[in-house]
Amino acid sequence: MNRLFEKSRTGESRRTTLLTNAARTILPMTCFSLCLMLAPASVLAVDEERREFHVSVNGDDQNDGSRTAPFATIGAAAERARPGDTITVHEGVYRERVNPVQGGAGDRSRIVFRAAPGENAVIKGSERITGWVNENNDTWKVVLPNEFFGDFNPYADVIYGDWFNPQGRKHHTGAVYLDEHWLTEAAELSPVLEPVGEDPLWFARVDDEHTTIWAQFEDVDPNEAKVEINVRRTVFYPEEPGVDFITVRGFTLMHAATPWAPPTAEQIGLIGTHWSRGWIIEDNDIRYSTCVGVTLGKYGDEWDNTSEDTAEGYVKTIDRALENGWSRDNIGGHIVRNNRISHCEQAGIVGSLGAVFSEITGNVIHDIHVRRLFSGHEMSGIKIHGAVDFLIRDNLIYRTYRGIWLDWMTQGARISGNVFFDNGPEQDIYFEVNHGPYVVDNNLFLSPRTMKDRSQGGVYAHNLFAGSLKFWPELHRETPYLEPHSTEVAGFGDHPGGNTHFFNNIFIESELDVYDDAKHPMRMAGNVYLRGAKPAIHETAPFIPADSDPQIELIRENAALLLRMVLDADLRTDNNVIVTTGLLGEAIVPGLPFLDHDGSPLDVDTDYFGEPRDPERPHPGPFESPGTGEIEIDLTKPAWQKER
């Protein structure tokens, strides 16, 4: 399909498993499979040959995969699955890397991998380890033959790549886990031999024959406790690109020795789509990835990790992607919804180019890059390059280094109804070198630093900003804008700033006067400024209620997320109007109208909860009917409370 992949791709070494062996011995395409690829989805949708394969920890890979004779591994089922088939995985822990070797034939003829309803199916990239010997006090040691790891040893695999900063030491993709939670890698052995501090440590040394791991287990015998170590780079990721229309539903996916995933290299996550089209990743618990949880990203090639020095390096990455199938017909269109994604030290979700035309909705994303052993320029709850016709809606994002980072070619995107809190030291949201158009509406930005804007062509409507804003122009990088609803480059431009519009927002302590010197025209109307927030000169009639302190407070109460605040009066004025495509005009640089992510006319006529707004005089902020006085609003959305 793509010229880049007509030759064999060497890729990185992998642990020898049944799945990878099968992937290396795929037979040439039969006439039947070729017909499946060419047949219309409507024909395949009524195919009576659809099958359901079952997998059980008590099964056998020599079975036929029926309910009464299930397979033992998900990989055995993946080898046999064809478009339209379902793989049902039953209760238990599966220690394997799932490598789908064939995808579906369309949205109505997918290959579905699902945990059996009501059953906890766990797929791990780790193995349980015994044979620990006490070294001294709470420090233990285990020695493993290198053959144990096959052709991928994460304790010899050093993290590196474009825009990665090791902060003066080596870091490895391996990890050690006690009761499924990771210990911290030490830079050298000596601290591991000392008494246990706040964070238990581990250290590994690999020679020609053995891998030796030292670890601290305070008041624990690791031979009796649940101690695991990473052995697989990824948990659910196709070896080859172009495996389309896969659904992954209802699993716990954890413990992956993932590499750094910059926008200029193959992006391998704990689970990832690998330059494909039409995946649905839903209702999963995805946690403990050395670098990234979910990748919707780029393929790999000989130019991986060679482009850090110049912005032109990423432009060339875009050019090569276009030569290798980057289009709506081949790439993107993924859905990532209703997952819990946590404990990843680079990002929760990453996508460079491969994430176009996708949706990220209803996810809970937390504890991202909280250990900060290394650094770089790719850390965020969600980090997307090329958010084209993109939807990010109804997500809860907290305790991340940065909430959302949209970088290059954000065009036709909508970010709506999300809640951000306790993020930092960076911002809830960052727009870097985009030309728009994009729309940000009905969000709650509740961290001390709410937004960094290094772009133009954005619209902000009905948001609550409870922290600082930062804006500055970028005159030293020309970045592309695209043809409408396409990946084709239409032109390039720098970023003097402006062409950014604020309607019907509530600002608390935010300083909008940072936009006073923006070069492109600005429009601001219907905004409310509380507790010392400062309007910009572009707003002719800002509403600044006298002595108004909302006393905003966020409360976690059982499974609910409650917002408590004080509103002394109705905040509406005659300047509050419904925000529509007709009101907004065009983004200046690309010359395109502000539309919804699906290309339909924009109409911000509902609030955070989906309730209709007053068509004549909508209330500023995310809520149409917040009330007055001391109020309490339950922000919780149903997807956040799903059992995993």
For 160-204, write each residue's pLDDT tens digit.
Answer: 999 999 999 999 999 999 999 999 999 999 999 999 999 999 999
Peptide bond into 425 cis (omega under 30): yes
User: At 643, is the pLDDT very low, low, confident or very high (cuts 50, 70, 90)?
Assistant: low
As a whole number of angstroms, the distance between CA 356 and CA 158 comes to 30
Mean local confidence (pLDDT), 492-499: 93
Backbone angles phi, psi at 22, to 5 degrees: -65, -40
CA dihedral 316, 317, 322, 328 (to 10 degrees): -140
As a whole number of angstroms, the distance between CA 383 and CA 341 comes to 14
pLDDT at 17: 34
pLDDT at 24 over 70: no
As a whole number of angstroms, the distance between CA 261 and CA 274 comes to 12
Lowest mean pLDDT, pick from 5-9, 321-325, 523-527: 5-9
pLDDT at 591 over 60: yes
pLDDT at 547: 72
As a whole number of angstroms, the distance between CA 349 and CA 478 comes to 26
Higher pLDDT, residue 39 or 363: 363
User: At 25, is the pLDDT very low, low, confident or very high (cuts 50, 70, 90)?
Assistant: very low
pLDDT at 12 over 90: no
pLDDT in tens, 361-381: 999 999 999 999 999 999 999
Q: DSSP readout, 224-261?
A: TS-EEEE--S-SB--SSS---SEEEES-EEEEE-PPP-
What single-letter amino acid sits at 76?
A
Q: Are 644 and 285 in contact (CB under 8 A)?
A: yes
Percent of all residues in the chain with a pLDDT value above 70, rounded to a whole number? 92
**What's the chain's average pLDDT?**
92
Mean local confidence (pLDDT), 437-444: 98
* Strand, helix or coil for residue 515: helix
Q: DSSP readout, 592-627?
A: EE-B-TTSSBPEE-B-TTSPBPPSSSPPSSS-S---
pLDDT at 307: 86
Mean local confidence (pLDDT), 227-238: 98
Place of tokens 């080859």: 240
pLDDT at 472 over 50: yes
pLDDT in tens, 300-356: 999 999 987 676 789 999 999 999 999 999 999 999 999 999 999 999 999 999 999
pLDDT at 387 over 50: yes
pLDDT at 312: 78
pLDDT at 41 over 50: no
Quote the pTM value. 0.92
CB under 8 Å to 121, separation ≥6 — which residues?
A: 89, 90, 91, 92, 94, 115, 250, 251, 252
pLDDT at 29 over 70: no
pLDDT at 460 over 50: yes
pLDDT at 15: 33
pLDDT at 32 over 50: no
User: At 28, is the pLDDT very low, low, confident or very high (cuts 50, 70, 90)?
Assistant: very low
pLDDT at 33: 37
CB under 8 Å to 471, separation ≥6 — which residues?
A: 452, 453, 454, 497, 514, 515, 518
As a whole number of angstroms, the distance between CA 246 and CA 77 comes to 14
Percent of all residues in the chain with a pLDDT value above 90, rounded to a whole number? 88
Report the topology of domain 128-230.
Immunoglobulin-like (2.60.40)
Per-domain boundaries in the chain = 128-230
Place of tokens 């109460």: 557
Q: Where does residue 581 rank: exposed (0-12), middle (13-18), buried (19+ CB within 10 A)? A: middle
